[in-house]
Amino acid sequence: MEPTALCTLGDISPLFHSQAAPPPGGPIVKPLPHDLFIVHGASAEMRWEAMRGQGYHVPNDRFFVRNHTTTPLIDVRTWRLRLHGDGLRAPRSFRYEDLLALPATTRDVAIECAGNGRSFFATQQGTPATGTQWRLGGIGVARWRGVKLSTLLKLAGIAPDAVDLLPTGLDGEYVEDGVNHGHVRRPLPVRKAMADVLVAYEMNGETLPPDHGFPARLVVPGWAGISSIKWLGGIEVARRELTSPWNTGLYRLDEPLTTQVVKSAFELPWEARLEAGRQHILRGRSWSGRGHIARVEVSVDGGRSWRRAYTRRTVAAWTPWHFAWCPATPGPYRLMARATDETGATQPEHAAYNPNGYLFDAVVEHPVTVV
Q: Which stretch binds ligand MTE (CB under 6 A): 30-38, 228-236, 253-261, 289-297?
A: 228-236
Question: Residue 189 carries which side chain, given as an amino acid letter?
Answer: P
The yes or no reply on residue 113 touching Mo ion (CB under 5 A) is yes
Which residues, other chains included, contact 72 with Cβ-Cβ below 8 Å and sequence gap of 6+?
A: 170, 171, 172, 210, 231
The yes or no reply on residue 68 touching ligand MTE (CB under 6 A) is yes
Phi, psi of 299 (to 5 degrees): -120, 135
Q: How many CB atoms lie within 10 A of CB 310?
A: 13
Task: Decide: 158 and 201 in contact? Cβ < 8 Å.
Answer: no
Distances (CA, A) of 251 to 114, 115, 162, 206, 307: 7, 9, 23, 30, 35
Q: How many residues would you count in the chain?
A: 371
CB 173 → ligand MTE: shortest distance, Å? 11
Going residue by residue from 161 to 200, which x/- string records binding to ligand MTE, judged by CB under 6 A?
Answer: --------x-x------------x----------------
The yes or no reply on residue 66 touching Mo ion (CB under 5 A) is yes
Residues 76-115 that bind ligand MTE (CB under 6 A): 111, 113
The yes or no reply on residue 140 touching Mo ion (CB under 5 A) is no
Question: Residue 119 carries which side chain, given as an amino acid letter?
Answer: S
Task: Decide: 242 and 102 in contact? Cβ < 8 Å.
Answer: no
Question: Residue 280 carries which side chain, given as an amino acid letter?
Answer: H
CA separation for the pair 59, 204 (Å, rounded): 7
The yes or no reply on residue 226 touching ligand MTE (CB under 6 A) is yes
Instruction: Select from 167, 154, 175 the least CA-distant residue to 242.
Output: 167
Q: What share of the chain is helix, strand, coil (3-state, %, to 5)?
A: 10, 35, 55
Q: Which stretch binds ligand MTE (CB under 6 A): 65-73, 102-110, 124-132, 311-319?
A: 65-73
Q: Which stretch binds ligand MTE (CB under 6 A): 60-68, 294-302, 343-351, 361-369?
A: 60-68
Using the rule CB under 5 A, which residue among 225, 233, 234, 245 binds Mo ion? 225
The site partner of 283 among Mo ion, ligand MTE, none (C-beta below 5 to 8 Å per kind) is none
CB 183 → ligand MTE: shortest distance, Å? 7
CA separation for the pair 100, 308 (Å, rounded): 44
Going residue by residue from 110 to 149, which x/- string records binding to ligand MTE, judged by CB under 6 A?
Answer: -x-x--------------------------x---------
Task: Decide: 10 and 326 in contact? Cβ < 8 Å.
Answer: no
CB nearer ligand MTE, residue 212 or residue 263: 212
CB 101 → ligand MTE: shortest distance, Å? 24
Give the CA-trace dihedral at 230, 54, 56, 324, to 10 degrees.
130
User: In this structure, are strands 365-370 and 272-274 parallel, antiparallel, or unpaired?
Assistant: parallel
The site partner of 202 among Mo ion, ligand MTE, none (C-beta below 5 to 8 Å per kind) is none
CB nearer Mo ion, residue 153 or residue 184: 184
The yes or no reply on residue 225 touching ligand MTE (CB under 6 A) is yes
The yes or no reply on residue 145 touching Mo ion (CB under 5 A) is no
CB 132 → Mo ion: shortest distance, Å? 8
CB 114 → Mo ion: shortest distance, Å? 5
Count the residues of the shown chain that bind ligand MTE, applying the rule CB under 6 A.
19
SS3 labels along 2-52: CCHHHCECCCCCCECCCCCCCCCCCCCCCCCCCCCEEEECCEEEECHHHHC
CB 93 → ligand MTE: shortest distance, Å? 18
Which residues, other chains included, contact 13 with Cβ-Cβ below 8 Å and sequence gap of 6+?
A: 52
CB 24 → ligand MTE: shortest distance, Å? 16
CB 216 → ligand MTE: shortest distance, Å? 11
The site partner of 231 among Mo ion, ligand MTE, none (C-beta below 5 to 8 Å per kind) is ligand MTE
- Contacts with ligand MTE by CB under 6 A lie at 63-68, 111, 113, 140, 169, 171, 184, 212, 225-226, 228-231
- Contacts with Mo ion by CB under 5 A lie at 66, 113, 225-226
